[in-house]
């Protein structure tokens, strides 16, 4: 007998799990009876279904040896509209996957503008029904009993958005800790009398391109026991576009207060709104975000009304580590004219350690991102902000993004904007000192030359050279 086969299973298992080549696992399962269960457990642990043929083949393989259903721990069912045929078998397969931990489902019609009724009323409905059964059943014989993570990118019947009532069983799950869902109309709604409040184990909730009303948000946030991460991404890329939360600041703060004891990350992105300032009205006894003592990272669109709270000390979160301002204009100097003043007001009202400025994605090559932003006028504004923040012992980072042709929610195979740091204050002080010394030495030797910043330089270096007197040649 081969010596490996004499070892205990708990020693062999890590060896098999370290094999990352699928063909090797197949060979192992086919040639060694003793190792077949271990090899197949690794082989079926993660499954990606990209079209109907995958679904059909998967069904045949799993049905051939039903024990294989229990090997599946992660499943992505993300077909395209051209790979729709036979994909409807997937819910019946998922139902039998007793150890499934992570599930991602995408409608094959989500980007086709068809919003197929068949998908929402048959296939998607079967997934939702499984959540209903899992929530209502007791004991071991129920679907999705071990599910921890669920991502759903879909649509309504014959329309872009589905109703919150459709997706509600997902949020009532007693096992799921991560939910990422898109294009849901979260209007005011009533929970079933049997729905337990503050009982859900949900830790992370991402509402992507959703139409969110404060009353609906409040009901939704009353369900988790200890939510730690919340992303509110209002509709910005689909029609009809909608940004309601800014109009109802008091109601939004009340909704968020359900999780004030546990929330560590909060994101709010939204569209610009005319005369948004008029909505910043809080009663004198409002506590704002001051009771969110666990909040460490706050990521706000430049248009979010929540930004206004940060300038008022008694309303600000007390333990913030990172303030992230997003959606900043990339190619308009006027946008940056008053940016130092705005940032200074926030830093005076709220204590934090790291400031991150994130620009809008642009259609520029990755290598061109730093020079695209770092014109002298804009670089000087960023430097001014960094100097102010340094006085408060706050670091400053500017991040740019290369945009591709896709929009949220990002589906399988779609490239998300590519991130690049274009300015880092910690590096800037060293680089600035270097080029200032260089200029001083040249001045002392009476050898001052007109120097131009190369476009190929990193953004931080460009800023340092501009600060030292270099000029940009673009």
Say how far apart CA 174 and CA 178 lie, in whole Å. 12
Say how far apart CA 15 and CA 35 lie, in whole Å. 11
Predicted pLDDT at 29: 59
For residue 19, what are its two tokens?
């094999």
**Contact, 106 vs 154, CB < 8 A?**
yes
Residue 394 forms part of a structural domain? yes
CA 382 from centre of chain: 26
Residue 223 forms part of a structural domain? no
Other CB atoms within a 10 A radius of the CB of residue 112 amount to: 14
Residue 146 forms part of a structural domain? no
Task: Summarize pLDDT for 91-134 with one digit per residue, the tens.
Answer: 999 999 999 999 999 998 887 777 778 888 889 999 999 999 99
Indicate the helix (H) or strand (E) that contains 345: helix 339-349
Predicted pLDDT at 28: 60
Beta strands in 194-294 (DSSP E): 204-212, 229-234, 265-269
Say how far apart CA 114 and CA 438 lie, in whole Å. 63
Residue 31 forms part of a structural domain? yes
Residue 387 forms part of a structural domain? yes
Range of the domain at 348: 321-474
Residue 285 forms part of a structural domain? no
Choose one of 9, 26, 43: the last residue of a domain.
Answer: 43
pLDDT by 10-residue block (mean), the chain, 474 residues: 58 62 65 72 92 93 96 94 85 97 93 78 93 86 95 90 94 98 94 89 98 97 98 91 89 98 98 79 90 99 95 97 95 83 97 98 92 89 98 98 94 95 98 92 69 90 93 78
**Based on the number of CB atoms within 10 Å of its own CB, is 136 exposed (0-12), middle (13-18) or buried (19 or more)?**
exposed
Residue 177 forms part of a structural domain? no
Residue 99 forms part of a structural domain? no
Sign of CA dihedral 203, 209, 210, 213: positive
Predicted pLDDT at 127: 97
Say how far apart CA 432 and CA 280 lie, in whole Å. 40
Task: Summarize pLDDT for 413-459 with one digit per residue, the tens.
Answer: 999 999 999 999 999 999 999 999 988 887 776 665 678 888 889 99
Total tally of structural domains belonging to the chain? 2
């Amino acid at each position: 007998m081969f010596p490996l086969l004499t070892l205990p299973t708990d020693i062999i298992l890590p060896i098999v799990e370290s094999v990352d080549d699928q063909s090797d696992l197949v060979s192992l399962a086919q040639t060694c009876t003793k190792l077949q269960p271990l090899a197949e457990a690794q082989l079926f642990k993660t499954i990606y279904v990209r079209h109907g043929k995958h679904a059909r083949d998967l069904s045949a393989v799993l049905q051939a040896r039903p024990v294989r259903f229990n090997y599946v721990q992660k499943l992505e069912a993300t077909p395209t509209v051209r790979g729709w045929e036979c994909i409807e078998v997937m819910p019946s397969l998922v139902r039998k996957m007793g150890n499934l931990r992570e599930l991602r489902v995408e409608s094959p019609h989500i980007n086709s503008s068809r919003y197929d009724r068949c998908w929402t009323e048959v296939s998607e409905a079967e997934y939702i029904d499984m959540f209903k059964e899992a929530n209502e059943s007791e004991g071991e014989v129920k679907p999705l009993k071990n599910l921890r993570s669920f991502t759903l990118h879909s649509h309504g019947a014959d329309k872009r958005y589905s109703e919150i009532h459709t997706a509600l069983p997902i949020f009532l799950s007693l096992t799921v800790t991560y939910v990422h869902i898109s294009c849901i109309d979260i209007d005011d709604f009533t929970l079933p009398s049997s729905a337990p409040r503050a009982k859900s184990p949900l830790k992370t909730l991402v509402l992507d391109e959703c139409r969110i009303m404060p009353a609906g948000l409040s009901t939704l946030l009353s369900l988790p026991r200890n939510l730690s991460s919340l992303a509110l991404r209002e509709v910005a890329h689909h029609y009809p576009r909608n940004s309601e939360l800014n109009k109802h600041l008091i109601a939004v703060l009340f909704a968020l207060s359900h999780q004030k004891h546990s929330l560590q990350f909060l994101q709010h992105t939204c569209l610009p709104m005319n005369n948004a300032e008029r909505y910043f009205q809080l009663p004198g006894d409002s506590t704002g975000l001051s009771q969110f003592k666990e909040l460490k990272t706050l990521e706000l669109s430049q248009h979010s009304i929540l930004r206004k709270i940060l300038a008022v000390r008694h309303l600000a979160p007390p333990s913030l580590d990172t303030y992230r301002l997003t959606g900043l204009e990339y190619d308009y100097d006027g946008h940056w004219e008053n940016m130092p003043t705005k940032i200074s007001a926030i830093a005076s009202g709220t204590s934090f350690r790291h400031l991150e400025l994130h620009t809008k994605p642009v259609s520029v090559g990755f290598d061109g991102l730093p020079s695209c932003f770092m014109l002298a006028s804009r670089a000087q504004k960023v430097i001014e902000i960094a100097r102010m923040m340094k006085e408060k012992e706050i670091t400053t980072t500017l991040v740019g993004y290369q945009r591709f042709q896709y929009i949220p929610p990002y589906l399988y195979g779609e490239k998300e904007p590519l991130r690049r740091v274009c300015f880092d204050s910690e590096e800037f002080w060293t680089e600035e000192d270097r080029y200032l010394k260089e200029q001083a030495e040249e001045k002392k030797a009476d050898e001052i030359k007109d120097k131009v910043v190369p476009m190929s330089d990193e953004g931080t270096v460009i800023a340092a050279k501009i600060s030292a007197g270099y000029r940009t040649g673009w």
